[in-house]
Amino acid sequence: MSTQNKFERGHIDPQTVNGSNRVIIFDTTLRDGEQSPGCSMNLEEKLRMAAILDDMGVDVIEAGFPIASQGDFESVQEIARTVKNATIAGLCRAKASDIEASAEAIAPAKHKRIHTFISTSPLHMKHKLQMSPEDVLDAIYESVSKARQYTDDVEWSAEDGSRTEDDFLCRAVETAIKAGATTINIPDTVGYASPADYGAQFAMLIERVPNMDKAILSVHCHNDLGMAVANSLAGIQNGARQIECTINGIGERAGNAALEEVIMAIRTRNDVFPYENNIDTTMITKASKTLSSITGFNVQPNKAIVGANAFAHESGIHQDGMLKDNRTYEIMTPASVGLTESELVLGKHSGRNALRTKLSELGFDLGDNAFQDVFKRFKDLADRKKTIFEEDLVSLVSADALNELETIQFKSLRVHAGSEGPQKADLTLTIDGEEKTASTQGNGPVDATFNAIQQLFPHPDVSLLLYQVHAVTKGTDAQADVTVKLEENGKTVIGQAANVDTMVASARAYIRALNKLLIKREKQTIDMNP
């Protein structure tokens, strides 16, 4: 739980923030991040991530794009109901229906923000919007004014802002502020900016826009050229006071600026970036791991801050230096990002209270039914695996806790494997409440299992893009962590599951991906034009 909270959250006053070294942290993991291929999350997963973001001290949580689907609307609304401190933002195009949907979805929040955007670059205005610059200015004024009818915290974004001409950007920003925008975001939508250009754009806006002091400038950078974090910091050095970022840097294409990298750069190089924020950095590892286990996106081992090797020292020279004084090769401590040694946390004899307490420490506050289900599976796991680590619990809860809420539920699997074929699978699933069984053959036990799923829930247009297995912890009794990536009509989803039995984990991961595909089918493809 965050203990920092240097600054009061909720009411964000441009006049106070602009004159200070405070930087507002706006997390868009649940919107820009969730929008990226394979990263869709269901309601429970979004709520769990939102609670962690709130605990870690994020100022604004962009909870989704309410007009995109009924599911998006409901999750923004539920996040708005449950989050305690952070401001909840809902994204919308410059369209009345989008703004109304956002306003309704965020209505239950203690602190609410409407975030509306429209493109401003010549390329986007001409080819994507097919609107004249004057019409875009009118749309900005109308959309921001409409949003202000619902809340006094309105953010306006100039999509493709980094490729917008200075004169027009100044007019657009001035118009948005006149209409009542209190935050002005200049996204580097396509990850094209360089730190020098992007920084200069903020300095230019501060110098030229007459009402600029009435709003907070914000950075929003994509990582297509690997410069999202550098660009974000350049924006801040030039007067921006809000950073939009995501956990693990997930997001469209190459992703967004990674929250953990921005925050640790500010903390570690405070001599160069003398800014303050509310983030409790010791929650970074938990946020990163939880997101990975939810989405099935494991971060690359050498990823800054949260990669498995980020604090590993392999070479003899480095190890020798570390033993003498860890400052020789470590610019930040593992503890500062909440990284602790894998601990043996629970065993075969642990009871309900111990499990509930541990799960709660890990950020899982489960309802009674879900908890009973997890407890049963924890006992099964403890019977089959001597030592249970935090990672085991995270996998157990993340991958399986929702089984009871999903359309397709795993019931049982028996596999015939080995050198004497044919390999067979007997699989029982519950589909929309009805139990069904299939017995199938295949080229190996995994193929036989996936054929059984296909037979029970036909999905001929879906292709399997990835099947990957790795061990959650060490030892031959470690749980297998299986990731399955599926694709249908260009939409991809990822399912992940862990089990001491690789075949069970495989079936569950595949089923989980299928369930996510059902959520994805609901979402309309949003036309980004107004």
Under the rule (CB under 6 A), what is the footprint of ligand KIV?
32, 117, 157, 159, 187, 189, 220, 222
Q: Of the two residues 187 and 495, which places its CB atom closer to ligand KIV in the complex?
A: 187
Q: Are 182 and 216 in contact (CB under 8 A)?
A: yes
Which residues, at least 6 apart from 284, have a Cβ–Cβ distance to it below 8 Å?
56, 259, 260, 263, 264, 305, 306, 337, 338
159 is in the binding site of which of ligand KIV, Zn ion, none (Cβ under 5 to 8 A by kind)? ligand KIV
Nearest to 42 by CA among 404, 390, 480: 404
Least separation in angstroms between CB 370 and Zn ion:
33
Site size for Zn ion (CB under 5 A): 1
Q: Of the two residues 158 and 486, which places its CB atom closer to Zn ion in the complex?
A: 158
Q: Of the two residues 89 and 103, which places its CB atom closer to ligand KIV in the complex?
A: 89
Q: Of the two residues 189 and 281, which places its CB atom closer to ligand KIV in the complex?
A: 189
Give the whole-angstrom CA distance, residue 384 versus residue 478.
10
Least separation in angstroms between CB 162 and ligand KIV:
9
**Would you give the end-to-end CA distance of the chain in angstroms?**
40
Least separation in angstroms between CB 28 and ligand KIV:
7
Least separation in angstroms between CB 31 and Zn ion:
8
How distant, in Å, are the alpha carbons of 374, 377, 429 from that of 404?
Answer: 11, 13, 12
Give residues 152-191 in contact with Zn ion (rule: CB under 5 A): none
157 is in the binding site of which of ligand KIV, Zn ion, none (Cβ under 5 to 8 A by kind)? ligand KIV
Least separation in angstroms between CB 32 and ligand KIV:
5
Give the whole-angstrom CA distance, residue 13 versus residue 307.
36
**From residue 3 to residue 42, what is the string marking binding to Zn ion with x (rule CB under 5 A)?**
-----------------------------x----------
SS3 per-residue string spanning 482-497: EEEEEEECCEEEEEEE
Helices of type H across 269-409: 284-295, 316-324, 352-361, 368-384, 390-400
Q: Are 175 and 156 in contact (CB under 8 A)?
A: no
155 is in the binding site of which of Zn ion, ligand KIV, none (Cβ under 5 to 8 A by kind)? none
Other C-beta atoms closer than 10 Å to the C-beta of 174 total 19
Q: Of the two residues 23 and 514, which places its CB atom closer to ligand KIV in the complex?
A: 23
Q: Of the two residues 162 and 403, which places its CB atom closer to Zn ion in the complex?
A: 162
Least separation in angstroms between CB 457 and ligand KIV:
34
Binding site for Zn ion (CB under 5 A): 32
